[in-house]
Structure 1
Amino acid sequence: MIKKMKNIGMYAFLILVTFISVFPLYWMVSASTNKSVDVSKGVLSFGSHLGENLKNLLANQDVGAALVNSFKYAILLTIVSMVICSLAGYGFEIYHDKAKDAVMGVILLAMMVPFITILVPLFQMVAKMKMLNSTLGFILPTVSTPFLIMMFRQSARSFPHNIIEAARLDGLSEIRIFFQMFIPTMKSTYAAAMTITFMNAWNSYMWPKVIMTQSKSMTMPMVVANLTEGYVTDYGMLMLAVLICTLPTALVFFILQKNFAEGITGAVK
């Protein structure tokens, strides 16, 4: 009887936590279908103004161009980051020595430096290189991050070294060992890193706001921020924009969630 009561209490607690977690998502979806005045009043039921909100959003902002820009920047940054950071993490672990440990320590110290402190020097550098309003200017500061390098290095520690020795004896080059053996083995780590990188790139706001000075280079977070400017905010239209901005990252996470969990825990198959 006591065990059943504990189970009931546990399930009740989990249901409550689930409701608290899901409610903001439900409110975002329902608010995107209501008028601004209804959202302000706290109406939680679904309305019939989704089409009107979408029409107003498309009339006020170039959502199509912003979506294309966000996808372009996020996908390209994710691909380049995977190659560079995985190569770095693999090299730090497989070709291990004390000098590389010292360099890795310096790289990890960079995690303690807030991005805002290097924002002005980065902007000046990008401006002098004439990369404002460009894809390269967007991805350059975050194409290689200490966190991803550390993540791939930790993953490389679980990679069987005897396989590397056997591959070398068979005549495989170091680059073929990496691309043909390491990458397929570390699929879960790559899935986790891709999820993190894509979400960070998609949700990035401060750096694009600084270097993207032309309206044609705007991203979705910048579109959402623009909707809050002015004297009156249309909350229905705003929540619809937030919903559109949220869907790609949510879709990526749901597709890769199993591999994401395995990659974070360092599982190797």
Structure 2
Amino acid sequence: MAKAKAKRIFTYVFLSIVAFVSIFPFFWMLVSSTNASVDVTKGRLLPGSFFLDNFNKLLEQTNLVQALGNSAIVSVISTILALLIGSLAGYGFEVYRTKSRDIVFNILLLSMMIPFAALMVPLYRMFATISGFAPFIGINTMAAVILPTITTAFLIFFFRQNTKMFPKEMLEAGRIDGLSEIGIFLKIYMPTMKTTYAAAAIITFMSSWNNYLWPLVVLQTPDQQTIPLLISNLGSSYSPDYGVIMTAIVIATLPTALVFFIMQKHFVAGMVGSVK
């Protein structure tokens, strides 16, 4: 009994330490957003009364609303298109069997091994060329940020793996009832795989919302900047106001946190491959 009790105590202590280490950065961010810059640099860990001052400075010094709007446009459109294309591809790879299917899929998976930094120069040159005859999807447009993110090998792989557990009898029943292949996908597959879509939506939205490197390269004017670029600009000033920076980070964190907490049950079910 004593050994079991000691083991339980050690487990709780260990988990408490891990939880503290995980939560502390978020706690420090919230506390710092309520303090002046000098208090943040001193490492103050108690809430202050400067949140409204920091928020007002943020509104005065930056185009916060416009940056949030740009990030929202990019993230929502990217998520919708990525889910549609990724699920169509994953569904097709699993349902339709051809001799070259696995070869193409393996080549697609190999593309995940290429770091995005290696693709930036070719992508930039491609969009720079497109700007000459289609400026609405060229450099310094939201389209240039969105298009490279709507087809990812990870999402295709994710949907294919979850489609393996999709009841194939439902496909046959739909075909017997006279539904077209698109009708089966829209009316049977998509409603049945809603937990998979929820998990993929959270992952894609968070990735798109926090995307920094590619927007930094392709967006060239302040009116097009997204929220990560705005925060980066605040931190790169000659004398950064850390209270304002932390306030901006808190505001930037809220949408992703809200999306996750609303859809967390579906996220867990989707990640373990549940089909309902």
Q: TM-score, normalised by structure 1?
A: 0.97
The answer to whether the aligner puts 1:11 opposite 2:18 as a matched pair is no
Query: Would you say the 8 A contact 2:34–2:54 is kept in 1?
Result: yes
In 2: Cα distance, 1:100 partner to 1:118 partner: 25
Residue in structure 2 matched with residue 136 of structure 1 by the alignment? 143
In 2: Cα distance, 1:233 partner to 1:132 partner: 29
Residue in structure 2 matched with residue 63 of structure 1 by the alignment? 64
In 2: Cα distance, 1:26 partner to 1:231 partner: 27
Residue in structure 2 matched with residue 110 of structure 1 by the alignment? 111
Cα deviation code 1:125-183 (max 9, x no counterpart): 11221212222211111110000000001111111111111111111110010011111
1:187-202 to 2 correspondences below 5 Å? 187-202=194-209
In 1: Cα distance, 2:31 partner to 2:107 partner: 48
Query: Would you say the 8 A contact 2:29–2:246 is kept in 1?
Result: yes
In 1: Cα distance, 2:99 partner to 2:266 partner: 32
Cα deviation code 1:23-42 (max 9, x no counterpart): 11110000001011101111
Shift of 1:4: 2.7
In 2: Cα distance, 1:214 partner to 1:135 partner: 12
Matching residue within 226, 230, 235 for 2:242:
235
Shift of 1:53: 0.7
The answer to whether the aligner puts 1:208 opposite 2:215 as a matched pair is yes
Shift of 1:12: 2.1
In 1: Cα distance, 2:241 partner to 2:173 partner: 64
Residue in structure 1 matched with residue 268 of structure 2 by the alignment? 261
Residue in structure 2 matched with residue 33 of structure 1 by the alignment? 34
Q: 1:6 corresponds to which letter in structure 2? A: K
Residue in structure 1 matched with residue 166 of structure 2 by the alignment? 159
Q: TM-score, normalised by structure 2?
A: 0.95
Residue in structure 2 matched with residue 176 of structure 1 by the alignment? 183
Residue in structure 1 matched with residue 22 of structure 2 by the alignment? 21
In 1: Cα distance, 2:117 partner to 2:17 partner: 38
In 2: Cα distance, 1:115 partner to 1:9 partner: 42
In 2: Cα distance, 1:127 partner to 1:197 partner: 26
3-state SS in 2 of match to 1:204: coil
1:73-152 to 2 correspondences below 5 Å? 73-130=74-131, 131-152=138-159
In 1: Cα distance, 2:57 partner to 2:112 partner: 41
Matching residue within 228, 247, 254 for 2:254:
247
In 1: Cα distance, 2:239 partner to 2:99 partner: 60
Count of aligned pairs:
269
Unaligned 5+ segments in structure 1 are none
Q: What's the C-alpha RMSD, in Å, of the aligned pairs? A: 1.0
3-state SS in 2 of match to 1:21: helix
Unaligned 5+ segments in structure 2 are 132-137
Query: Would you say the 8 A contact 2:142–2:224 is kept in 1?
Result: no
In 2: Cα distance, 1:55 partner to 1:166 partner: 59
The answer to whether the aligner puts 1:72 opposite 2:79 as a matched pair is no
In 2: Cα distance, 1:202 partner to 1:41 partner: 31
Shift of 1:7: 2.1
In 1: Cα distance, 2:7 partner to 2:119 partner: 52
Q: 1:32 corresponds to which letter in structure 2? A: S
Q: 2:250 corresponds to which letter in structure 1? A: L
In 2: Cα distance, 1:53 partner to 1:175 partner: 51
Segments of 4+ in structure 1 off by > 3 A? Answer: none
Matching residue within 201, 215, 228 for 1:221:
228
